[in-house]
């Protein structure tokens, strides 16, 4: 079982690290090992706890961007009726881009689920992957800066025209969406961040930080919901929750609050800031956690 305090901490950890580009799976595997908590992450009870916190995070994301999702669903429906995707229909294009970008992580996740699950069982390995996540974020930022410098030189003094965020996302090419999808698949490796991978991939195909964040957060919603939904049949077979249900509820509520505060902060943060602080954090946290667990 998980104590109330542990549920509070793990719930908040899930809500923050799922959206910050610092890996929720990595932190949930590393923190108990660092703090010496005797938690069996392969137990039925922990499965229920994990599904509850992930569902809470996904529902917060869905609620935060509900206007976008209403327009996206309408756009997809209109494109199905018309049997074509009008490039001028921003939300139809966005919807299908999300579908295309979600396919790689879905296929790889189902095909290699047991492999990735076994990796999560070794917190030292996860700590190493967390540090690599930091280097990946650092590399994405450096490549983005180089690309922008080259573009600025080519365009000379021409001032870029500001576009609405959704319009910018809708102009992503289909091949670009597939690239972001494969980048997001890195998060299947415990220690790599889904948000960070999607953000980095979006930056590399030409989106700015704000548009990349919007695309990454919209992509996260169906992926997290699908991951939780796939585990729901197993949850219904669990009969050992009992008195521990209060910990599950606390974890889910804490995760929801933390996710809401995180998404509010990050949507403002990426208007003017970069991934560099998160890259430095992941590198340092991964190395320090590895050294602590190694003792």
Question: How many whole angstroms from its chain centre is CA 158?
Answer: 35
Query: What are the tens digits of pLDDT across the range 137-154?
Result: 999 888 887 776 665 554
For the chain, give the number of residues: 295
Helix (H, G, I), strand (E, B) or coil at 241: coil
Q: Which pLDDT score is estimated for 39?
A: 80
* CA distances from residue 144 to 19, 35, 79, 171, 201 in whole angstroms, order as listed: 21, 37, 33, 18, 10
| Average pLDDT score over residue span 73-79 | 93
Query: What are the tens digits of pLDDT across the range 224-275?
Result: 888 887 777 766 666 556 656 788 889 999 999 999 999 999 999 998 888 9
Query: What are the tens digits of pLDDT across the range 156-189?
Result: 443 333 347 888 898 899 999 999 999 999 888 8
Q: Which two tokens stand for residue 208?
A: 């700015």
Q: Which pLDDT score is estimated for 156?
A: 40
Q: Which pLDDT score is estimated for 261?
A: 96
Euclidean distance between the first and the last CA atom of the chain, given in angstroms as a whole number: 26
Note whether 179 and 196 are within 8 A (CB).
no
Rg (CA), the chain: 19
Note whether 62 and 229 are within 8 A (CB).
no
CA distance 197 to 180: 8
Nearest to 194 by CA among 22, 55, 57, 31: 22
Q: Is the pLDDT higher at 62 or at 112?
A: 62
């Amino acid at each position: 079982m998980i104590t109330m305090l542990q549920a509070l901490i793990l719930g908040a950890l899930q809500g923050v690290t799922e959206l910050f580009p610092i890996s929720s799976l990595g932190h949930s595997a590393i923190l108990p090992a660092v703090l010496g908590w005797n938690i069996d992450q392969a137990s039925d009870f922990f499965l229920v706890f994990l599904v509850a916190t992930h569902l809470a995070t996904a529902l917060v994301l869905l609620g935060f961007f509900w206007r976008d999702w209403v327009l996206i669903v309408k756009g997809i429906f209109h494109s199905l009726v018309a049997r074509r995707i009008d490039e001028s229909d921003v939300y139809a294009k966005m919807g299908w881009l999300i579908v295309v970008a979600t396919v790689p992580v879905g296929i790889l996740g189902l095909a290699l689920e047991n492999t990735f699950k076994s990796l999560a069982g070794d917190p030292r390995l996860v700590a190493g992957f967390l540090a690599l996540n930091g280097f990946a974020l650092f590399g994405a930022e450096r490549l983005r800066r180089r690309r922008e410098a080259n573009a600025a030189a080519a365009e000379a003094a021409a001032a870029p025209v500001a576009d609405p965020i959704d319009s910018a996302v809708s102009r992503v090419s289909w091949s670009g969406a597939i690239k972001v999808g494969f980048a997001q698949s890195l998060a299947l490796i415990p220690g790599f961040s889904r948000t960070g991978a999607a953000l980095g991939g979006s930056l590399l195909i030409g989106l700015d930080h704000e548009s990349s964040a919007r695309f990454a957060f919209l992509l996260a919603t169906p992926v997290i919901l699908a991951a939780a939904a796939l585990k729901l049949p197993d949850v219904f077979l669990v009969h050992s929750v009992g008195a521990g249900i209060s910990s599950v509820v606390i974890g889910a509520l804490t995760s929801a609050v933390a996710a809401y505060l995180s998404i509010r902060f990050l949507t403002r943060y990426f208007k003017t800031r970069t991934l560099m602080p998160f890259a430095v954090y992941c590198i340092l946290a991964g190395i320090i956690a590895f050294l602590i667990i190694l003792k």
